[in-house]
Chains A and B, each alone.
Chain A
């Protein structure tokens, strides 16, 4: 057309639509509130974790009265050898010590002349402390026998200390620990929340345009696919920003205060995987949400129409969060984490926990990436056919069929 100087590339329109979504959403109170609250919760959670793990203190406190103090060094050494941390404290005399035991300041009080283990406790001896003390009593008796037999207990103990076992694992060990477990859970919660919030934003945005009828004005200018793509990309960008801020701040804080002691590279890896899976999950699910939302004309009907895919998101999350902490190598979760419908929720949890074979991580990504073009085609078709039909709910089969 000769008289028109208002040409715009197809993606220029998509960019404008996406820009509007970003602009309206970033300034909305709902976005600022959810981001702020999530950050606050994450900060509180990190600090609580730090408090619980860092300043935890000794497992037990044992007091020594009189000559029993001779056992103090041996007890500490024994406790360390069985993996217990025992704090020791000398008390003035046995009476004071007994008082402290009944007050609960001491878990146990060692009395006697230091040649045998005599323990005063309030009601019962803690099982782990009993083990430590039993081993201690055994060592005392052993040393006495060695001396009786004319040996040197110091030398014997040194030799015993040098004895080591040779461990030969049949399978390579999974290298996850408690911290990574928590990291996996947090990753799962973030992805889940983000899919839920941003996915529903897409659905509500589609219906907002339909119910306010502005869609007719928009479609008189741009193509349905441009409107849909712009909306998905715009809301996705906002979600990504939110996820990046939350994930980055949370991870940075956790590393800074020492609540997380994993390597920085592993932490960065977790955040990157989180972002990748958010993007894949968001694109796949929001295409479905957009198409289904186009079938209805009222905000009240959005919830019902997007329920089936939403259930899958919730199911994936619930499976992961309930099975993985107890059984990180669960076979069902392992398989489901590669199925495109569940992968966005389950794979990032497993990846954050660590120990995922590279081929599984790769396969999950490839399958979702392969599914996305199919979803683009299907959703585009449903959206195009349904978005201009206001009034009663459009049947999905009708929207798929009619050209």
Chain B
């Protein structure tokens, strides 16, 4: 399996509260893994344990088959959920310092700082104190801090939060480039459209457990067939009574239906035409957002 990052049955509890319950997943070299779940589901705890900032009660984190130790952690690029840099230190000095803590020589560190600040669009600000930067630019510096030592593993907690669309594009490109270099990339996000677009595989966590973990395609297929019908004349309840059909969403002229196994989509089309003109009739799969919602609603029922 090569250089993959494995989280193996990691558990953590705080007193009576179970934060992680046998959390397991792995990220292969060159793979972008999206980590999604509600707030408090255990994403940050998992990442902190992977970085050794928190100790697990049980379970292991391995890279290339070996348990991750202090030496391995030095090659991880980490972006904590709680952003943190020295507010009164200059951007360039700060990044150089962090790069050197990861083992770069001062020459290598300066060179890397130059490259990454250029690439992330903050090269003009290397002489400024971090606290004088806008939040968006601080975020870019934070990402530079995770990348400046040329990490062999990337673990990013909410890297897209607080970024403007241009920065989102820069960040997306960086993640895909790193993966193309053979680096396992894990990131958490609430922006599911981004996760869907960037990730090869996605893990959905709930209550400290991995409840779904597969490729984006496989996860979307799992929810059955969707029908999107746009019929301006269709009133509420037009599709009720058709065998094997459930209404998922009905907003304005647009209705999203879920078809059970063997349900007849032509019967749906006939029912729609009976209400008047139909401007769109399309088969599709559930989106990641829909899947995520159904997982969360299971949680509420549980």
Contacts and interface: CB of A to CB of B under 8 A. Distances in A.
A217 interface: yes
Contacts of B102: 6, 221
Contact of B84 (A6, A24, A215): A215
A3 B181 CA distance: 14
Contacts of B190: none
A214 interface: yes
A221 B86 contact: no
Nearest to A24: B89
A220 B75 contact: no
Interface in B53-86: 53-54, 63-64, 66, 70-76, 78, 80, 82-86
B97 A16 contact: yes
Interface residues of A, number: 28
A1 interface: yes
Counting contact residues on chain B (CB < 8 A from A), the size range is: 35 or more
Nearest to B93: A23
B83 A213 contact: yes
Binding site secondary structure of chain B? loop
B97 A217 contact: no
A223 B66 contact: no
A212 B103 contact: no
Contacts of A4: 71-72, 74-75, 152
Given A6-B104, A20-B97, A221-B101, A388 B53 contact: yes
A372 interface: no
A223 B70 contact: yes
Contacts of A216: 48, 53, 80, 82, 84
Nearest to B81: A216
B87 A217 contact: no
Given A1-B64, A16-B97, A7 B84 contact: no
B104 A220 contact: no
Given A213-B84, A216-B82, A221 B71 contact: no
A334 interface: no
B85 A6 contact: no
B156 to A, nearest CB: 12
B145 interface: yes
A276 interface: no
Given A212-B87, A220-B51, A7 B73 contact: no
Contacts of B85: 212, 214, 217
Contacts of B70: 223
B101 A218 contact: yes
Contacts of A222: 101
B123 to A, nearest CB: 21
A1 B97 contact: no
B280 to A, nearest CB: 48
A6 B88 CA distance: 28
A395 to B, nearest CB: 14
B244 to A, nearest CB: 51
B100 interface: yes
Contact of B76 (A16, A220, A390): A220
Given A219-B53, A220-B53, A7 B103 contact: yes
A332 interface: no
B98 interface: yes
B75 A6 contact: yes
Contacts of B84: 212-217
Contacts of A37: none
A13 interface: yes
B80 A217 contact: yes
A144 to B, nearest CB: 86
B52 interface: yes
Given A8-B74, A20-B97, A220-B51, A3 B3 contact: yes
Contact of B74 (A6, A24, A209): A6
Nearest to B103: A6
B200 to A, nearest CB: 22
Contacts of A215: 84
A72 interface: no
B149 interface: yes
B32 to A, nearest CB: 20
20 contacts: A1-B64, A1-B72, A8-B103, A13-B101, A208-B86, A209-B86, A212-B85, A212-B87, A213-B84, A216-B82, A217-B80, A217-B98, A220-B53, A220-B73, A220-B76, A220-B80, A221-B73, A221-B98, A222-B101, A223-B70
Given A4-B71, A6-B104, 5 more contacts: A3-B3, A16-B101, A213-B83, A215-B84, A217-B85
- Closest A-B pairs by Cβ, 8 of them: A213-B84, A6-B103, A214-B84, A220-B51, A213-B82, A216-B80, A220-B78, A8-B103
